């Protein structure tokens, strides 16, 4: 039911996607999901932005989602930003590849979260730097 309410990725519509036989199962606090791993280029913003992985980036394609945990979610998918060492099924995370690209000025990311819950755009993710227009007071950076 959740898939009917959301945009879906179709591997066959991508010129670079490779479907694999790798399977996954993830247990969340509020439910679970399972499916297979596809491999493709993952881009943030656009393919010309420089914020892309190579075509071997693995990601989970959910084919089973018991219950209604994600049925009315305001998002179409989840992208993990964990370290490779703790990533589900040891799939390398896209941020590692992006941070190694020459277009990436700084190996960091920042979130801007809107305080206005009524806006359609609840926030932003800035990659490889900080958007200085999004803060007015000093903040601290944490090494992770």
Check whether residue 56 and residue 115 sit in a common domain.
no
Check whether residue 18 and residue 82 sit in a common domain.
yes
Separation CA 59–CA 57 (nearest Å): 7
The per-residue pLDDT for 34 is 92
Check whether residue 82 and residue 114 sit in a common domain.
no
Separation CA 48–CA 27 (nearest Å): 35
Separation CA 99–CA 87 (nearest Å): 17
Separation CA 74–CA 48 (nearest Å): 27
DSSP class of 48: T
Average pLDDT for 2-11: 83
pTM: 0.78
End-to-end CA distance of the chain: 37
DSSP class of 43: B
**Which of the listed ranges 24-28, 56-60, 115-119, 133-137 does the model predict with the highest average pLDDT?**
56-60
Check whether residue 60 and residue 112 sit in a common domain.
no
Average pLDDT for 56-83: 83
**12-54 pLDDT tens trace:** 999 999 999 999 998 888 888 899 999 999 998 777 777 899 9
Residue among 37, 43, 46, 44 at smallest CA distance from 11: 37
Supply the range of the domain harboring residue 77: 2-104
List beta partners, residue 126: 110
Check whether residue 76 and residue 137 sit in a common domain.
no
The per-residue pLDDT for 31 is 81
Dihedrals phi, psi of 94, to nearest 5 degrees: -65, -30
> What does the mean pLDDT of the chain come to?
85
Check whether residue 92 and residue 128 sit in a common domain.
no
* Domain of residue 30, CATH code: 2.40.70.10
122 pLDDT more than 80: no
How many domains does one find in the chain? 2
Check whether residue 137 and residue 83 sit in a common domain.
no
- Are the C-beta atoms of residues 40 and 18 closer than 8 Å to each other? yes
Separation CA 107–CA 141 (nearest Å): 12
């Amino acid at each position: 039911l959740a898939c009917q309410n959301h945009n879906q990725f179709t591997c066959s519509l991508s010129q670079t996607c490779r479907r694999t036989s790798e399977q996954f199962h993830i247990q969340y606090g509020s439910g679970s999901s399972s499916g297979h791993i596809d491999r493709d280029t993952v881009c943030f913003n656009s393919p010309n932005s420089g914020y892309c992985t190579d075509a071997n980036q693995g990601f989970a394609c959910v084919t089973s989602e018991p219950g209604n945990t994600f049925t009315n979610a305001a998002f179409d998918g989840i992208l993990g930003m964990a370290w490779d060492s703790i990533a589900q099924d040891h799939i390398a995370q896209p941020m590692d590849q992006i941070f190694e690209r020459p277009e990436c000025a700084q190996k960091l990311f920042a979130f801007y979260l809107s305080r206005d819950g009524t806006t359609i755009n609840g926030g932003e993710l800035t990659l490889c730097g900080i958007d200085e227009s999004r803060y007015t007071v000093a903040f601290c950076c944490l090494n992770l």
